[in-house]
Structure formats: C-alpha cells, structure tokens
Amino acid sequence: MQPVLAFDIETIPDVAGLIRLHGLAADSPHDEVVEMALLARRQATGSDFLPHHLQRVAAISCALRIEDKFKVWTLGRENEGEAAILQRFFEGIERYTPQLVSWNGGGFDLPVLNHRCLIHGVAAARYWEWGDEDRDFRYNNYLNRYHTRHLDLMDVLAMYSGRANAPLDALAQLCGLPGKLGMDGSQVWRAYHEGRLADICDYCETDVLNTYLLFLRFERMRGALGDAAYGAEIDLVRRVLADSGARHWQEFLALWQA
C-alpha cells in the first residue's frame, strides 16, 4: 500500500518580507505593517488576500496513512521557524514518496510552499523530480496538474473547472463530516498575533482530517475501496481520534455523522 499523506497549510502575512519590499523600519509594529498591506491589497483588487509569495507558513498539518498506522500531527506546533517546518515536510516526501492529497493544494498550498522554499533555500529533490532520475516520475509526478501523485481533490471533483470548485467546509458538512472547527482562514493572523498558535494548529488538523475523510469517500466512489475496506479505514480513524483524548478530536467525533 502506497503511503498517503493529506496536508493543509495555515499562513500569516510575511511581515519581514513586507518590511523589506516597502522599505519600512525594521522595528515597525507588525499589526500596522499587516494592516497597511491588507488595505493596499483591498484598494488594488477588492480583496485583502495577499499574493502567495507574501504568505508565511505558520503550520502544516499532515494526515499520514502508512502500513497499519494512521497519524495526524502539525509541523509548527512547537513554534519552530518557517524554514524548519518546510524542510521537515519535504524530508517526509523524500523518505516515503507518498501520494499527496489536498484540497486546493494546486491552487494555494503548493505554490505557497514552492515560493517559501525558494526564499529559504529548502531542498526538495523528490518533490521536484520530473523523471530525469526516476523514469516513473515522467508519467506521474507531484508537479503535473493531471497526475495523481499529488491529488488536489477539489480540482479533480470540479473536473478542473474553477467554476465548479466547492469549499471544503461546505462539502465536508454535506457528507456528514464536521467541517471547519474553531476558526476559519481569515482569522488565523489575528489568532497568531494573540499568541494562539495551538488553536491554529488544532484548526488546521481538523481541516486536514476533513480532507482525508473526503479522500476515502472519493476512493470508495471510484471503486478503489470496497465497502468493507472503506469501513475499516473509517474505524481506524475513529479509534485514533478517540485514543488521543485531545479536545478538538473529541469535538470532531461528536459532530461526525457518517
């Protein structure tokens, strides 16, 4: 069984980058720098969503299914630096060569990771393999939109049409899953500024678990998992959550309908 790694990132504005690009004083208050950038973005585009390269990675949550094990955890929970978070994530890809699963990972998560790795000089040889060293990657690599080594589930379900994209929260709830818990992406910067990194990590983990559980439903829908195998996978996830004792997982279990 090929390892499966569902992932989701949470980002905050790159304050240091904004200070550098706008020639601001190094000791400029972070909240003022961010508010200036968001206001300028709203005036220019009508949205305060910053460009991918100005999104700093605060956390990467992972749901790994490998051998007889299932695990959910977050890189960044210990407040390690962005470069360390990125390096550890891509070291995992180097080690396991998993199938990556995401929700809008091709549109947001991976482009952000690509830009931030370039900024920090993070090596990710396996991820960037196009088939020069491993011929199998010519026909199935992480970078091609239409390959399955990275499965952007939102993109696939929408038939690669942005007009049909569905929000993770909505589709998860329609499938009987809890959807987003605790906050949403628009609240991450404020939570980070208030020192609530643990809350951000808990929220990111519930997002990645929603993604992984939708992936299991997708695998059953396309015939890769039979009913018995699907049921066994769901039971494994439920056991892992119940055994963890963590507050956000107990809330998730209480709201999980199917």
Q: Which single residue is written with the structure tokens 């091709």?
A: 106
The pLDDT, as a whole number, for residue 76 is 97
Range 9-27 average pLDDT = 97
Q: What is the pTM of this model?
A: 0.96
**What is the reported pLDDT for 184?**
84
Give me the domain span that covers residue 245: 4-255
Instruction: Supply 106's token pair.
Output: 């091709």
Confidence grade of residue 1 (pLDDT, cut at 50, 70, 90): confident
What pLDDT is recorded for position 186? Answer: 85
**Would the pLDDT of 182 be above 90?**
no
**Strand order through the sheet with 150-152:** 69-75, 55-66, 4-13, 99-102, 150-152
Across the chain, what does the average pLDDT equal?
96
CATH classification of the domain holding 97: 3.30.420.10
| Coil/strand/helix, residue 245 | coil
Q: Structural domain tally of the chain?
A: 1
Produce one character per residue of 212-238: b if its CB has 16 or more CB atoms within 10 Å, e if not. Answer: bbbbbbbbbeeeebeeeebeebbeebe
Other CB atoms within 10 Å distance of the CB of residue 46 = 8
pLDDT at 13: 97
Quote the CA–CA distance of 153 and 133 in Å, as a whole number: 28
pLDDT digits (tens, 9 = 90+) for 29-39: 999 999 999 99
Lowest mean pLDDT segment, chosen from 58-67, 77-86, 139-148, 184-193: 184-193
